[in-house]
Chains A and B, each alone.
Chain A
Amino acid sequence: MNLKLLHHATDVPPSGWQLLPMRFHRFDGNSILLTNLVGEHLFVSQDQFLAVMDGTCTDQELLARLRARHLIQRPGDRLPAELLAVKLKTRLRHLTDSTGLHIFVVTLRCEHTCRYCQVSRQSSARSEFDMTRETASRALALAFRSPSPHLKLEFQGGEPLLNFPIVKWIVQEAKRINLDYGKDLAFVIATNLALIDDEILRFCNEENIDISTSLDGPPDLHNNNRRRPGQDSWQKAVAGIRQVQEKLGPGRVSALMTTTEASLDRAHDIIDTYAELGLRNIFLRPISPYGFALRRRGGAGYEVERWLKFYETGLDYIIDLNRGGLPMVESYAAIISRKMFSNKDPGYVDLTSPAGIGLGALVYNYDGDIYASDEGRMLAEMRDDTFRLGNLASSSYEDVMLNEKLLQPLTDSFTLSAPMCESCAFEPYCGADPVFHHATAGDFLGHKSTSAFCRRNMGIFKILLRRIRDNKFAQDLFWRWGQG
């Protein structure tokens, strides 16, 4: 009896609720997705949705679920607004901690000639394309001006191991400077691993440097994409991965793949290659539309829909591997799961609003030029310097961070005010990408009804949400990924 009384005490009479800020998307069939201000979601039927909208709903269980998701509240309630505010504040907390990622392009030299390379690599002998100590020193001074208590310095190229002396110098100098700052410092070398040796490994071990490499899948696929003299890029990469795992530890090396036309039918092969190497994370990435990749990709281009099919096949395979007991994570799904199931923003530069350019990452080119993102640097390879924020020889931190070339794209692309984005049910999971839209549509915002960025990300959100709705194992798996 008591239980019944309590139950009735929580009943909401018809028209006895107020809507909280929410967005909706007609999902599939009769299913409508509702999301609240911070991305918590609920699926309802069309009839249920309309009954809630017009105040006629009498389904107490549905009303309770809507209240639990902060989609409606009873008049006079204060807690939902306060909880939503706390969650929103937590999600936006990273904004006060810009900029966390600092990319040092220590050389343009490379001994690979990858088909999809985004930069104008130079031959291995041309040291005029190397970063000097003077430039590196200025880059460090600027990086340490960032308010972020966490600084990650990433070394890129070209092939950064071709200018390893400057990598060593930057690491040691950064640690010396940090004695005054006390920031949480991390280092990553993005390398193809072809040149890794014992001395480099020893240094990485001593200085706690992580390794990020490229692995496109099985040998034939990888070596066709990533060409070098001897056609042994895969063999070198795999040998390097094993060396790093052995000498630095299994968690110290990660790999990224790029999906080319030839990859589209081989999702299982690619994932199996990672699993066999003990790599527990795989990032299923589409080919970049920037720089030399765009100019040269020729037959490597493909439609968003074909890539989504590849992604869906790969994700389902990863879910099956997990179901069979092999823990494996798809990195992009994990980033989105974090946005769906936690209030901590993963800080992923390509999927955040305000956009991650400048605020999430800064790039220091070998010649001292400063870019708002790595993709901005790639555009500069095509003689488009829209995202060049200055040069280390002449630009101060204030010049860079208050530059209109940074502020304008941030403002124009902000999703909470952008047409279609502001009312999109997927907005809490998505982000602004002014570089992509500048490159593909000619302005920082793009038109969302024709944007490939929008089609790709909405496609991925739907793939994930459909599994969350229909597949309990996948729902639990994504929830775990979302907890980081």
Chain B
Amino acid sequence: MPGMPQDLEAAEIGFDKGTTELDALQRAVYAVADLMTVDIKTSDAEYICTLFPHHPEESHDTLKHRIRAEVIDQTLRLRIAKETEPIRNLIFALAFSETGLVGGEEAGE
């Protein structure tokens, strides 16, 4: 396809299923899409990721480091989101009460 990078050599990296959530892995893959596309397959114990670089100047080590760091950050973000979900819902419920933004409700009521 015109404009697509030439096929570059792919790299492979595995993530332990016991410590990595698929959601975090998929979010990480989305976040690094400027550098690479990633194919995720599963084995019994691991998510096997094949990394397809966009740019020849990025080494395989750089790509692996980047996705590892991103997976750690996304895992932390998911953990924060999970731990704070009840209070986030409470805050939004309080914020949207009496605003008139909820159907049938008058502002300032």
Contact of B94 among A23, A85, A420 (CB under 8 A): A85
Residue among B77, B87, B91, B94 with max Cβ neighbours from chain A (10 Å): B91
CA distance A449 to B30 in the complex (A): 8
- Measured between C-beta atoms, what is the minimum distance from A144 to chain B in Å? 19
Is the CB–CB distance between B77 and A23 below 8 Å?
Answer: yes
Indicate if A450 sits at the interface (CB-CB under 8 A).
Answer: yes
Is the CB–CB distance between A88 and B92 below 8 Å?
Answer: yes
Indicate if B84 sits at the interface (CB-CB under 8 A).
Answer: yes
Tell me if B's interface is mostly helix, strand, loop or mixed: helix
Is the CB–CB distance between A420 and B99 below 8 Å?
Answer: no
- Measured between C-beta atoms, what is the minimum distance from B77 to chain A in Å? 5
Chain B, Cβ-Cβ closest to A73: B87
CA distance A37 to B88 in the complex (A): 9
Indicate if A382 sits at the interface (CB-CB under 8 A).
Answer: no
Indicate if A195 sits at the interface (CB-CB under 8 A).
Answer: no
Q: A53-B76, A92-B99, A96-B100 are in contact. Are A21 and B91 (CB under 8 A)?
A: yes
Give the interface residue-count category, chain A.
20 to 34
Is the CB–CB distance between A420 and B87 below 8 Å?
Answer: no
Which parts of B5-59 form the interface with A (CB within 8 Å)?
27, 30-34
Which parts of A24-68 form the interface with B (CB within 8 Å)?
24, 26, 37, 53
Tell me if A's interface is mostly helix, strand, loop or mixed: mixed
Point out the residues of chain B lying under 8 angstroms from A53, CB to CB.
76, 79-80
Is the CB–CB distance between A20 and B87 below 8 Å?
Answer: yes
CA distance A84 to B99 in the complex (A): 15
Indicate if A275 sits at the interface (CB-CB under 8 A).
Answer: no
Is the CB–CB distance between B91 and A37 below 8 Å?
Answer: yes
Is the CB–CB distance between B33 and A447 below 8 Å?
Answer: yes
Chain B, Cβ-Cβ closest to A422: B81
Indicate if A22 sits at the interface (CB-CB under 8 A).
Answer: yes
CA distance A467 to B41 in the complex (A): 44
- Measured between C-beta atoms, what is the minimum distance from A112 to chain B in Å? 36
Is the CB–CB distance between B80 and A22 below 8 Å?
Answer: yes
Q: A22-B80, A85-B95, A88-B95 are in contact. Are A449 and B90 (CB under 8 A)?
A: no
Indicate if A326 sits at the interface (CB-CB under 8 A).
Answer: no
Is the CB–CB distance between A95 and B81 below 8 Å?
Answer: no
Is the CB–CB distance between A19 and B33 below 8 Å?
Answer: no
CA distance A373 to B81 in the complex (A): 34
CA distance A238 to B4 in the complex (A): 48
Is the CB–CB distance between A19 and B83 below 8 Å?
Answer: yes
- Measured between C-beta atoms, what is the minimum distance from B107 to chain A in Å? 6
- Measured between C-beta atoms, what is the minimum distance from B21 to chain A in Å? 14
Is the CB–CB distance between A21 and B33 below 8 Å?
Answer: no
- Measured between C-beta atoms, what is the minimum distance from A290 to chain B in Å? 22
Is the CB–CB distance between B30 and A419 below 8 Å?
Answer: yes
Indicate if A81 sits at the interface (CB-CB under 8 A).
Answer: yes
Is the CB–CB distance between B99 and A89 below 8 Å?
Answer: yes
Indicate if B101 sits at the interface (CB-CB under 8 A).
Answer: yes
Is the CB–CB distance between B84 and A22 below 8 Å?
Answer: yes
Is the CB–CB distance between A420 and B100 below 8 Å?
Answer: no
Is the CB–CB distance between B31 and A449 below 8 Å?
Answer: yes
Query: Could you mark each residue 154-167 of chain A with 1 if its beta carbon is under 8 Å from any beta carbon of chain B, else 0?
Result: 00000000000000
Indicate if A423 sits at the interface (CB-CB under 8 A).
Answer: yes
Chain B, Cβ-Cβ closest to A97: B107
- Measured between C-beta atoms, what is the minimum distance from B80 to chain A in Å? 6
Q: A53-B76, A423-B81 are in contact. Are A82 and B30 (CB under 8 A)?
A: no
Indicate if A18 sits at the interface (CB-CB under 8 A).
Answer: yes
- Measured between C-beta atoms, what is the minimum distance from B81 to chain A in Å? 7
Is the CB–CB distance between A81 and B91 below 8 Å?
Answer: yes
- Measured between C-beta atoms, what is the minimum distance from B82 to chain A in Å? 10
Q: A23-B77, A96-B99 are in contact. Are A84 and B30 (CB under 8 A)?
A: no
Point out the residues of chain A lying under 8 angstroms from B87, CB to CB.
18, 20-21, 81
Query: Could you mark each residue 67-85 of chain B with 1 if its beta carbon is under 8 Å from any beta carbon of chain A, else 0?
Result: 0000001101101110110
Is the CB–CB distance between A26 and B73 below 8 Å?
Answer: yes
Contact of B90 among A81, A89, A92, A447 (CB under 8 A): A81
Contact of A450 among B34, B74, B79, B94 (CB under 8 A): B34
Point out the residues of chain B lying under 8 angstroms from A419, CB to CB.
27, 30
Q: A20-B84, A449-B32 are in contact. Are A423 and B95 (CB under 8 A)?
A: no
Is the CB–CB distance between A420 and B34 below 8 Å?
Answer: no
CA distance A86 to B74 in the complex (A): 29
Q: A21-B88, A85-B94, A96-B101 are in contact. Are A420 and B31 (CB under 8 A)?
A: yes
Could you pull out 24 A-B pairs where Cβ atoms are within 8 angstroms? Answer: A18-B87, A19-B83, A21-B81, A21-B84, A22-B84, A37-B88, A37-B91, A81-B87, A81-B90, A86-B95, A89-B99, A92-B96, A95-B99, A95-B101, A96-B99, A96-B100, A419-B27, A419-B30, A420-B30, A423-B27, A423-B81, A447-B33, A449-B33, A449-B34
Leading 6 A-B pairs by shortest Cβ distance: A85-B94, A88-B95, A449-B34, A89-B95, A21-B88, A85-B95
